[in-house]
Amino acid sequence: MNAPLVKLEGLKKYFPVRSDKLFSEKEWIKAVDGVYLEIQPGEVIGLVGESGCGKSTLVNLLLRLEEATEGKIWFDETDLTHLSQEALRKTRRDIQMVFQDPFWSLNPRLLVRDIVGEPLTVYLKLSQTQLVEKVQSLLEMVGLPRESLYHYPHEFSSGQRQRIAIARALALEPRLVVLDEPTSAIDILSQAQILDLLMQIKRNLGLTYILISHDLSVVHYLSDRIVVMYLGKVVEEGEADTIFNSPRHPYTQALLNAIPDITKYSLDDLQTLEGSVPSAINPPSGCRFHTRCPMAMEVCRREEPVMLKLGNSHRAACHLLQSNNPKAKRGIP
Ligand code: SF4
């Protein structure tokens, strides 16, 4: 294994809750609460969990759009949590994002040349000729004609607009790209093409992806490894096939059992998991999933389960695994 490109160590993000009551104890929304994670160069990590599980906050912390409450974020062995604004500006080139809805993420008043070329203008001193050449080659890379340069976003289909957004994200030759629901806002016909394009670009450029998606068929198709989050914590992670074929954590099992055919269903179709995700202000004691877990035991209400190593890169945090699998080695706390 190489040195990880990304390493999260005990990462926490607590947001203060506004209260009108005088002298009341300060309350916190524990959006991310002690996440440990390593991402190898060239990997595609799928982040999975219901809304409110903390995956978007986790990505915002990585992009330094939010400041961490505690813990460290290492990117290529640099601690992002303590980077000065100037050093951060340089590192930001390496981490880019493709947003869910290309209609809203692209400025409708700008030509494609200016949308894709904007990061180049901000970071590099290119002549107009160099800028146009660079933008044209980016457009070609994402399968758009070079002449697209002088058109506006509304002149393209949703799939083509997502290609423009991808070209913009690639402009500064990043090493890590966060894909936030990259196909959910585009027409069905274009979805498979965009996924293929993302895979092809990843192979050609040796990129690392973090994928957020409610669509498990997309997650399964793109990801090497899956990370399952529940209420601010990672509850299971492992290779995509392992997670999909033999999930060990009751929450992961519930997610997948609720979806009879992953080629057709998304996490939004979840039906068999009872209740909604509890509030992150006062998360349940012990195992946070115990209020919804069909296999909860007395110990689950009292003690938080530690992360257990189940295989090479397979880990899960559940008391059941501890008692059923005495050989499981203790992993990261
Ligand atoms: Fe369910 Fe207990 Fe395992 Fe939590 S620790 S997932 S409540 S069995």
When divided into structural domains, the chain yields a total of: 1
> Which strands form 307-309's sheet, in the order they lie side by side?
95-98, 176-180, 208-212, 44-48, 225-230, 233-239, 315-317, 307-309, 329-330
| Per-residue pLDDT, 332 | 42
- Ligand 1: which atom is nearest the Cα of residue 250? 6
280 CA distance to ligand 1 middle (Å): 18
Q: Cβ neighbours of residue 17 under 8 Å, at least 6 residues apart?
A: 26, 27, 28, 29, 281
Which structural domain, as residue segments, surrounds residue 53?
6-329
- The burial of 74, by beta-carbon neighbours within 10 Å (0-12 exposed, 13-18 middle, 19 or more buried), is given as middle
In a domain, 118, yes or no: yes
In a domain, 28, yes or no: yes
In a domain, 315, yes or no: yes
- The partner residues of 95 in beta bridges, in order of sequence, read 176
- Ligand 1: which atom is nearest the Cα of residue 300? 2
In a domain, 232, yes or no: yes
122 CA distance to ligand 1 middle (Å): 49
Look up residue 163 and give its two tokens: 């290609």
pLDDT in tens, 39-93: 999 999 999 999 889 999 999 999 999 999 999 999 998 999 988 888 888 888 9
Among the listed residues 218, 267, 216, the one whose alpha carbon sits nearest the alpha carbon of residue 244: 216
Query: Ligand 1: does its nearest atom lie under 6 Å from the Cβ of 189?
Result: no
| Per-residue pLDDT, 331 | 43
pLDDT in tens, 21-39: 666 677 889 999 999 999 9
33 CA distance to ligand 1 middle (Å): 18
Query: Where does residue 24 fall: left (phi above 0), alpha (psi -120 to 50 degrees), or beta otherwise?
Result: beta
250 CA distance to ligand 1 middle (Å): 7
pLDDT of 327 above 70:
no
| Per-residue pLDDT, 266 | 54
324 CA distance to ligand 1 middle (Å): 12
Query: Ligand 1: does its nearest atom lie under 6 Å from the Cβ of 281?
Result: no
Distances (CA, A) of 190 to 155, 160, 324: 16, 8, 45
pLDDT of 325 above 90:
no
Query: Where does residue 323 fall: left (phi above 0), alpha (psi -120 to 50 degrees), or beta otherwise?
Result: alpha
In a domain, 286, yes or no: yes
Distance of CA 265 to the CA centre of its chain: 19
- The partner residues of 210 in beta bridges, in order of sequence, read 45, 178
H or E stretch covering 220: helix 216-222
In whole numbers, what is the pLDDT of the chain averaged over residues?
Answer: 89
Average pLDDT over residues 111-120: 95
The amino acid at residue 97 is M
- Ligand 1: which atom is nearest the Cα of residue 297? 2
In a domain, 1, yes or no: no
In a domain, 281, yes or no: yes
| Per-residue pLDDT, 18 | 77
174 CA distance to ligand 1 middle (Å): 39
In a domain, 164, yes or no: yes
pLDDT of 321 above 60:
yes
Alpha helices (runs of H) in 28-175, residue ranges in sequence order: 55-62, 85-92, 102-105, 112-123, 128-141, 158-170
Phi then psi dihedrals of residue 260, to 5 deg: -65, -30
- Ligand 1: which atom is nearest the Cα of residue 294? 1
The protein residue with its alpha carbon nearest to ligand 1, atom 3, reads 318
The protein residue with its alpha carbon nearest to ligand 1, atom 5, reads 318
CATH code, domain carrying 189: 3.40.50.300
Question: Which of 288, 292, 319 best tests ligand 1's pocket when mutated (most atoms within 8 Å of CB)?
Answer: 319
pLDDT of 1 above 70:
no
Q: What angle do CA 276, 279, 280 make, to 5 degrees?
A: 125
pLDDT of 303 above 70:
yes
Distances (CA, A) of 38 to 10, 72, 77, 237, 245: 12, 12, 12, 11, 22
| Per-residue pLDDT, 89 | 86
Average pLDDT over residues 127-141: 96
pLDDT in tens, 250-264: 999 998 886 655 554
Q: Are 250 and 221 in contact (CB under 8 A)?
A: no
pLDDT of 200 above 80:
yes
